[in-house]
Structure 1
Amino acid sequence: MRAEIEQAATEIRSSLALLRRHLDWDNALRRLDELNALAEDPALWDKAEKAQKIMRERTHLADAIGAFRAMERELDDALTLAELGEAEGDSASVDEAQRNLAVLKEHAAKRELESLLSGEADMNDCYLEVHAGAGGTEAQDWAQMLLRMYVRWAEQHGYKVEWLEESAGEEAGLKSATIEIKGPNAYGWLKSESGIHRLVRISPFDSNARRHTSFSSVWVYPVIDDDINIEVLDKDLKVDTFRASGAGGQHINKTDSAIRITHIPTGIVVSCQADRSQHRNRAMAMDMLKARMYEAELRKREEASAAIEAQKTDIGWGHQLRSYVLQPYQMVKDLRTEVETSDTQGVLDGDIDRFLSASLAAKIQGGPGAAEKA
């Protein structure tokens, strides 16, 4: 058998062995049986929140076990095809087996990384905010491009996107926007995206076609479960109502029901204008506020390298996470992991898995903050 096929098979088996160990295979099978039994109990839904939590765990575990078994079958099928092809002198079958193994190798490596998403909130949905830095229209256009990148990434992975807040720029782009991304491990995958993103390009808004540098900040925090108790006192809150304005804002309503809540002790500000009901917008904004406070506590526990508010200040040269250069050459480079690509259009269309995977792998290999130090 070709050396390339044997090498790929060896690497896939290694990933599967690690996956099996991380799953704690025997206990995972036993737990799935328990969850299946609970799911068949009609009394389970007497407590809806508990039932939903059990069903989420069951779905997550069943998917993980099913994916592992499917990859084992795909490995066996590819190796069988390669053996038959070589025995019969059918080079086309051998080539097909080699291609199948290459795809499986990449898939197994990604599942191996996903299995390590074991943080307290990694399985949760997440909120993602984008804020334009200084620079007016140029920076606001970059903020919109950046948000589009994340929306495309979410859609490509089968996640649902809900628009919660959108403040349009004066001429183009966005001053800020907040979306909720719903899907398994959404927070685990995107949590390392918080930081400053830098764009270098020939500005379409500059009549002299000069090169401009723009900055936008991204902020990711988890949607928290109802059973996580975050205490928020009314006396610590400033609540404002406002109306969406500007040329954009096509994803949100234009009534006076939009809500902005400021948590005075921490300075955290959240806004929601997703619904025509002021009551529902306030409820969603409170959920976002509690999620931000919970994420702050998570970062403290994980001994993150920078304080939360320090990451939100100075949207400029000091706190860069990734650099996107469109002119005079094409390059996107992560400044923590050194991962880079010349496929700038692919990245801006949502192809950011290479950066997410590298950041996760760096943190796992080096502990909290390792990705930032890489």
Structure 2
Amino acid sequence: MSLVLGTAIGQLLTLAVTPFLARIYSDEDFGFLSLVISVVSIAAPAAALRLDSALMLPKDNRDASALFGVGMISAVVVSAASAGVLQIVFACGLLSNMAALPWFSLWVALITFLTAAFTLLGQYALRGHRYGAVARRSVYQSVLAAASQLGWGLAAPSATGLIGGYAIGRAAGIVPLVLALRTQLERFSSMDVRRLITKYWRFPALFTPSAILNSAGLVIPVLFVGLWFSVGDAGQWALADRILAAPLVLVATAVGQVVEAHVSEVVREGKGSLTRYFLSVSAVLAVIAGIVVFVVVLCAPPFLPILLGPGWGTAAQLMIAMSPIAATRLIVSPMSKVLVVLQRGGWTLGLDILRVVLVGAVVLAAIGLSLDLILTAWLFSVSLSIVYLVTWVIAWVAVRRGPGLERARAL
């Protein structure tokens, strides 16, 4: 309950401050923020090597501590490497819209590391059922991010204020987790690391590429909008997504963490059934998703310009176009956690390849047919919705197949 409450408070704070930020910052400022976050979304899964999900499985805290340590070291290396790669790309004259923001690559490196640490610490806290610390994480992050962005914007509004405030919020969210876990981490040896990497090799080898593809499939649309149309259009997209993300973050993220913890416990203890649990949670999420779509279609056109102020009319049209993906993602994202826990790496990778292929096809169609922004958004939304529906079916099949569960227990 505390986990859901913390997530709810954090998301409500983010929503409450959005109208003020929309009047202080321009759509281009929001566009630069969305481009930074999109690149981070691709780099962050690689930074932690997906060991955040593996943290839930070891029975021994020493083993979990070793996995945590490897994840943190990897986060430092990958974050620094991401900045280097971007600098080389910019030096070659590519991605000029991104390069127009000063210190773009350094922002990406900093936020990538903070995101990886945020995720690893959060999963370790959930492993120990420290839901209160995870709930406080969400509140601290939202409060500090909102205060920093507002203060920075009132003093000198620019994209730097939005991005810097976001980074401050990420850092603030780490504090309650560090305080809660400072006595939980145990010493480990290099032999422990080698043994655990051998045991959980699927997470870095299969689930990391899959997570990168998953994130790429989700953020390619906004990256494409920012690079093909304009940074301002990416900002319109970002505001629409920010509001649509309210139910997604409020419900799907919290439920997904609980689902992952529950499934991991069933696997670890070797008892209990997942089939009825899977269907009942999916049904509840489907009802919530239907309500979200109804409200968006009915309320976005007349009320969003009033909420955000002049200059944000495109965001209302984008919200309607993006409602199918918001609904299907709300249902499927939490339930897809079973594929990670049951270590269905091949299936997950196949789904993520399908997502990138479909999104890539939309990009080619938009360029080749000179489609406008709204029609392009509809095509992205429909293609991603199809992938999520296929994902739900595959997750259901994985839950029903007993041998898959037995194999996960054996590992």
**TM-score, normalized by length of structure 2?**
0.24
Larger Rg: 1
Determine which structure has greater relative contact order: mean sequence separation of CA pairs < 8 Å that are 6+ residues apart, divided by chain length.
2
Which of the pair is proportionally richer in helix?
2
Which of the pair is proportionally richer in strand?
1
